[in-house]
Amino acid sequence: MKRPSPRPTPPRSPAQPISPSTSKTKSRTVKPGARGTMVPKEWRDDVDRVLITPRQISRRIRELSTEISRDFSGREMVVVSLLNGTVLFLADLIRHLSLPLRLDFIGVSSYGAGTESGELVFTKELRLDVRGRDVLLIDDILDTGRTMMRVREILTPLAPRCVRTCVLLDKPARRVESIQADYVGFVIPDLFVVGYGLDYAERYRNLPFVGVLKPERSSPA
């Protein structure tokens, strides 16, 4: 998909709110059955195919960081990242952000040992004060929307100036809550994916690509 040329955006004064319509970069849609690179031999027993390559991830993160830096120009934001799946995405993204920021984490788990979404369990609370500050909330994947909706409900009483959301992957086919992310890396079909921080039973997070897990690997023994 050809990316339209971004319009020049004038610097914002610290008091000017961020418009919810500032996002200009279109997310990349990954089509079902799209051919990817060959799965590395050490992962072929577990991964059916590579859905998004390391090169595609790197290029898209640079685009996202450029867009976020432009939208938050002249401001100091608080980056709030949801543990644990965001770690790789977060590290690569903030290294490319050319603006001052503070970083904090919320620990939340919505998956047990299986592939179905379960009850949310919060394992770490926010430490930084976000009152009156611009918050960028980062997650690895937006699927049902329950996690993102619940975290936003927690942040709202803390009175941030604004909350924008950024996800590596968006899986709209699974959505049950009316919520969308402001910044999206890739829109993917309804496939169970692992790698680049995403896991199954706490495995596969270290894969440098996003791959489709073989059905037999995600089925109960």
Residue 144 CB contacts under 8 Å (≥ 6 apart), including other chains: 117, 174, 175, 176, 177
Tens digit of pLDDT per residue, the chain (221 long)? 444 444 443 434 333 444 433 444 566 787 655 555 789 999 999 999 999 999 999 999 999 999 999 999 999 899 999 999 999 999 999 999 989 999 999 998 765 545 555 678 888 999 999 999 999 999 999 999 999 999 999 999 999 999 999 999 999 999 999 999 999 999 999 999 999 999 999 999 999 999 999 998 876 55
Instruction: Tell me, yes or no, whether 16 lies in a domain.
Output: no
Query: Whole-model pTM?
Result: 0.83
Give me Rg for the CA atoms of the chain: 17
DSSP string for residues in 193-211 = EEBTTB-BTTBSTT-SSEE
* Residue 20 CA neighbour count, 13 Å, CB half: 6
- C-alpha 106: how far from its chain's center? 14
How far out from the chain centre does Cα 27 lie?
Answer: 12
3-class state of residue 146 by DSSP? helix
Residue 161 lies in a domain: yes
Given this model, what pLDDT does residue 45 score?
95
For the chain, how are helix, strand and coil distributed in percent, rounded to 5? 20, 30, 50
The DSSP-derived string for 54-103 is HHHHHHHHHHHHHHHHHHTTT--EEEEEEETTTHHHHHHHHHT--S-EEE
Q: Which residues are catalytic?
A: 143
- Cα–Cα distances (Å) from 198 to 6, 50, 85, 156, in that order, read 31, 14, 5, 27
Q: What is the CATH number of the domain that holds 87?
A: 3.40.50.2020
- Which domain does 160 fall in, by range? 56-191
The total number of structural domains in the chain stands at 1
Residue 142 to residue 119: CA distance in whole angstroms: 16
Asked if residue 180 belongs to a domain, the reply is yes
Q: Does some domain include residue 213? A: no
User: Is residue 89, in this structure, part of any structural domain at all?
Assistant: yes
Give the per-residue pLDDT at 121.
84
Note whether residue 2 is domain-resident: no
Query: Is residue 126 included in any domain, yes or no?
Result: yes
Q: Which residue has the tokens 């390559």?
A: 53
Q: Would you state the torsion angle of the CA atoms of residues 9, 11, 14, 15, taken in this order, to the nearest 10 degrees? A: -50
- Answer yes or no: is 65 within a domain: yes
- How confident is the model at residue 134, as a pLDDT? 97
pLDDT at residue 93 in the model: 98
| Strands ordered across the beta sheet of 193-194 | 47-52, 210-213, 193-194
